[in-house]
């Protein structure tokens, strides 16, 4: 069960969200000039959507409360572009594991009892989507969409010069302990049915491909090499795509705290800000886990819940390990991704409502899992730890669609796959806006059946 597909070295030791700049003045808006399209959110989804729209000649303004793009969910995630293994969390084994791990601080998937009331119907619908047939259908939909998205990204990279520590050559997933071979074979078969290229490696093959694993060679039962997947720094990518979008004429307004939407006669007219307002012909909500609250007053109900994920960022030279590709440890439930001179360690899932607290106990669990994977590591006394809120839907599919409010669209709910799905999601929204794709068609429609 993969539960980890989720910082800059100048950060303090612990950040749950990147801080706002204290030196930046709070902007004030009172614009009567009409902006053609406003995008709410400058994360990887919002910034990529802005770029795609601008390439079609649209006038776009992006609003975000942070001082720069990609400062929330996109900031320090696992860094995988998992185009060939884009899987929903609503897997058949998840309900039993959630009960088994309920309230346990050392659990890779932690459901805090205090969060259960807030989950309400979302939690029940999530559990209903854990059926095997539903899981396989959703996995197939996500993986094919992700493969298309990676193709779009490759085309984008041929056109634009973007620097974000991109790596190619796939990642290695290792399986350890009782039942490892059966679990790996079932996983490989599922991926191959969806078109992924998977190589099965014995323990010697694993350490030959990835020598950094030699100290734990005897514990590896089998490895799966997903050869066509990529990796990189999602935060750097978001800043880079925002940069080239600005070059296409997109206006980015940071420090803009959106308080609500303005609607008249069932048609969007603008956005309310903490210090003013902006009129718009069209608004696209790319606000991650905050999107549901923004849309709800206008009758647009989307079951998106925040799910907390954690990561560590380490200096490769300091810790003394240098994997050449991402290593996914199915037993420890972590992923270790090389990003230039850094290592990103991502893992653990926490259902805690809107609690953004970065808990030392969860960070300690991640450190221990890393030690178990790399016993030779020189763990520094302090590490850069981070947590962020992933926008999770009950069925694992994002919402990319027009709403009943005229000219109000939504592009959110991508969970841990935001970067992987960003380009395809931006393309779909652009097609909806330009009229080349019929609204409410496809797996990502707003009012789909989710149970």
pLDDT at 32 over 80: no
Q: Provide CB contacts within 8 A for 366, sequence distance 6+.
A: 310, 311, 312, 334, 345, 347, 348, 385
Instruction: Provide the whole-model pTM.
Output: 0.92
Q: How far is CA 405 from CA 27, 31, 287, 298, in A?
A: 28, 22, 17, 8
Question: By three-state DSSP, how is residue 251 classified?
Answer: strand
Third-level CATH fold of 18-74+235-303+396-434? FAD/NAD(P)-binding domain (3.50.50)
pLDDT at 364 over 60: yes
Query: Does pLDDT of 432 surpass 80?
Result: yes
Q: Are 5 and 80 in contact (CB under 8 A)?
A: yes
* pLDDT tens figures, 52-78: 999 999 999 999 999 999 999 999 999
| 181 alpha carbon, distance to own chain's centre | 29
Instruction: Give 381-399 pLDDT, tens digit per residue.
Output: 888 999 999 999 999 999 9
The phi-psi region of residue 363 (left if phi > 0; otherwise alpha if psi is between -120 and 50; otherwise beta) is alpha
* Residues 30 and 126: beta-carbon distance below 8 Å: no
Contacts of 291 (CB under 8 A, 6+ apart): 40, 41, 285, 302, 304, 391, 410, 412, 413
Find the radius of gyration of the CA atoms of the chain. 21
Alpha carbons 435 and 439: distance in angstroms, whole number: 9
Q: What is the mean pLDDT of the chain?
A: 90
Q: HSE of 426 in the Cβ direction (CA atoms, 13 Å)?
A: 29
Cα separation, 122 vs 352, whole angstroms: 13
Give me the pLDDT at residue 95, please: 85
Backbone angles phi, psi at 351, to 5 degrees: -90, 105
Using the predicted structure, report yes or no on whether residue 171 has a pLDDT greater than 70: yes
Q: How many CA atoms lie within 13 A of 287 on its CB side?
A: 25
pLDDT digits (tens, 9 = 90+) for 123-167: 889 989 999 999 999 999 999 999 999 999 999 999 999 999 999
- pLDDT interval class at 451 (50, 70, 90): low
CATH code reported for the domain at 80-148+162-230+305-393: 3.30.9.10
Which letter does DSSP use for residue 406 in this model? Answer: B
Q: How do the domains of the chain map onto residue ranges? A: 18-74+235-303+396-434, 80-148+162-230+305-393
How much of the chain exceeds pLDDT 90, in percent? 78
Q: Does residue 102 or residue 255 have the better pLDDT?
A: 255
pLDDT (0 to 100) of residue 441 = 63
């Amino acid at each position: 069960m993969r539960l980890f597909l989720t910082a800059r070295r100048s950060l303090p030791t612990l950040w749950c969200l990147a801080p706002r700049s204290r030196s930046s003045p709070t902007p004030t808006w009172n614009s009567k000039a009409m902006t053609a399209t406003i995008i709410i959110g400058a994360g990887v989804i919002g910034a990529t959507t802005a770029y795609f729209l601008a390439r079609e000649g649209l006038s776009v303004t992006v609003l975000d409360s942070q001082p720069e793009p990609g400062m929330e969910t996109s900031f320090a995630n696992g860094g995988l572009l998992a185009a060939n293994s884009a899987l929903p969390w609503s897997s058949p084994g998840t309900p039993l594991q959630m009960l088994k791990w309920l309230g346990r601080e050392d659990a890779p998937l932690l459901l805090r009892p205090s969060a259960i009331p807030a989950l309400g119907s979302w939690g029940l619908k999530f559990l209903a989507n854990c059926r095997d047939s539903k899981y396989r259908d959703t996995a197939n939909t996500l993986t094919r969409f992700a493969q298309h998205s990676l193709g779009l990204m490759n085309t984008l990279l041929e056109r634009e010069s973007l620097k974000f520590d991109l790596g190619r050559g796939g990642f290695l997933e290792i399986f350890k302990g009782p039942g490892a071979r059966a679990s790996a074979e079932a996983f490989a078969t599922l991926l191959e049915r969806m078109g992924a290229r998977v190589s099965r490696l014995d323990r010697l093959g694993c350490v030959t491909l990835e020598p950094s694993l030699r100290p734990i060679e005897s514990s590896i039962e089998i490895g799966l090499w997903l050869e066509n997947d990529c990796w990189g720094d999602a935060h750097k990518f978001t800043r880079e795509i925002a940069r080239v979008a600005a070059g296409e004429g997109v206006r980015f307004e940071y420090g803009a705290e959106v308080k609500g939407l303005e609607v008249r006669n069932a048609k969007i007219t603008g956005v309310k800000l903490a210090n003013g307002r902006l009129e718009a012909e069209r608004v696209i909500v790319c606000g991650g886990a905050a999107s549901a609250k923004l849309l709800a007053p206008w009758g647009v109900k989307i079951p998106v819940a925040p799910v907390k994920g954690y990561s560590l960022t380490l200096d490769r030279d300091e810790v003394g390990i240098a994997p050449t590709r991402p290593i996914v440890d199915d037993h420890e439930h972590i992923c270790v991704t090389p990003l230039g001179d850094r290592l990103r360690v991502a893992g653990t899932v926490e259902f805690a409502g809107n609690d953004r607290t970065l808990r030392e106990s969860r960070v300690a669990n991640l450190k221990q899992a890393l030690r178990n994977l790399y016993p030779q590591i020189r763990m520094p006394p302090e590490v850069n730890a981070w947590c962020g809120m992933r926008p999770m839907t009950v069925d694992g599919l994002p919402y990319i669609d027009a709403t009943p409010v005229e000219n109000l669209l939504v592009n959110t709910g991508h969970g841990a796959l935001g970067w992987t799905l960003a380009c395809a999601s931006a393309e779909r929204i652009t097609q909806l806006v330009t009229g080349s794709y019929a609204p409410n068609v496809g797996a990502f429609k707003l009012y789909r059946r989710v149970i």
